[in-house]
Amino acid sequence: MVHEVRGVVARAKGAPVQTDTILVPDPGPGEALIQVQACGVCHTDLHYREGAINDDFPFLLGHEAAGIVEAVGNDVTSVSPGDFVILNWRAVCGECRSCRRGRPWYCFSTHNAAQKMTLADGTVLTPALGIGAFAEKTLVAAGQATKVDPAASPAAAGLLGCGVMAGLGAAMFTGDVGRGDSVAVFGCGGVGGAAIVGARLAGAATVIAVDLDAQKLEWAADFGATHTVDASKQDVVEAIRALTDGNGADVCIEAVGRPEVFQQAFLARDLAGTLVQVGVPDPSMTIELPMIEFFGRGGALKPSWYGDCLPSRDFPMLIDLYLQGRLPLDKFVSETIGLDGVEDAFHQMERGEVLRSVVIV
């Protein structure tokens, strides 16, 4: 059976997205059909629309989602019809060299659905990050659906599917923030805000938020930053040192994806400190650092993909924290919109007016 549903499609580079009829097949082996309930509007979707990921147009956008399992392939045992799930783009294969070495959070060969979703005329769609969840239904690999407590709000839970998980994990997993640490977060949008929350959950004593935007610094304080630094008015490196007894932060998290911010974060570390880059750079960007500073400071420079999370381990735990009132996912939801509101939400995101617009399907 083929399901005829509505979905948000990017047909050409830079062109406004549109809501189209799409065809979604019943699940085959290893697949799950998901009735999407909510999907966050993420910068990655905008990157797809702009052709910054690849040029495999048309794209079925959306990937930061939660919903209900409608059907599964006959060999699927990890989820069942009726389960409430968060979708993820790291469906651990269990077979690659990273998985075999006991590091599944680095899985190099994640699974996607084998069957294709199409437009009504048969044109094959490329689902964003293998998910394509700006749609009433989507088809994914069963491993891309993680069962969590159905008491959670779909609009909040779905945010763990990408941006919020990236920020939380940058602090908790990649940065390995510990009790009493000092942490500086550069860029306080959705990902940076989540890094602040993650640092507080991990026990950081000092959390310094850095941004150029006064509104984002207000959001950062609300998420638990103990100090804020307005990068438009202050020398960021000196300000962070002044707030850490002249030493610099134990962990600096770069959530912007720009070389000049990376350099600030590099220099704002304490000796043997850690720099985590979770901001996504433009492919043309490069960095240049004095080698003696790299050698002399020690520590670690670590990129963070998806916060180095393991969805099957981390999503249920984080949803439990949310339901206990310890993880403020609802604060990231700036507005809820329909499928027809995605293009406007992109423009709001570009202007920095929202943390997350969430499509309710």
Contact indicator for 230, 253 with CB cutoff of 8 Å: no
Q: What is the mean pLDDT of residues 86-101?
A: 94
Q: How far is C-alpha 275 from the geometric centre of its chain's CA atoms?
A: 18
Give the mean pLDDT of 26-32.
98
> What is the rounded average pLDDT for all residues in the chain?
97
Across residues 337-361, what is the average pLDDT? 96
Superfamily of domain 2-161+328-360 in the CATH hierarchy: Medium-chain alcohol dehydrogenases, catalytic domain (3.90.180.10)
Would you say 15 and 336 are in contact if contact means Cβ atoms under 8 Å apart?
no
Answer whether 274's CB lies under 8 Å from 252's CB: yes
Instruction: For residue 283, name the pLDDT band (cuts at 50, 70, 90).
Output: confident
Mean pLDDT, residues 224-231: 98
pLDDT, tens digit, 9 for 90 and up, residues 50-89:
998 899 999 999 999 999 999 999 999 999 999 999 999 9
Render pLDDT for 213-223 as a digit per residue (tens, 0 to 9).
999 999 999 99
Closest CA to 87 of 22, 10, 140: 140
C-alpha pair distances (Å), 207 with each of 55, 83, 231, 241: 39, 37, 16, 13
pTM as predicted: 0.96
pLDDT of amino acid 178: 98
pLDDT digits (tens, 9 = 90+) for 107-134: 999 899 999 999 999 999 999 999 999 9
Number of neighbouring beta carbons within 10 Å of residue 358: 25
Residue ranges of domains in the chain: 2-161+328-360, 167-304
Superfamily of domain 167-304: NAD(P)-binding Rossmann-like Domain (3.40.50.720)
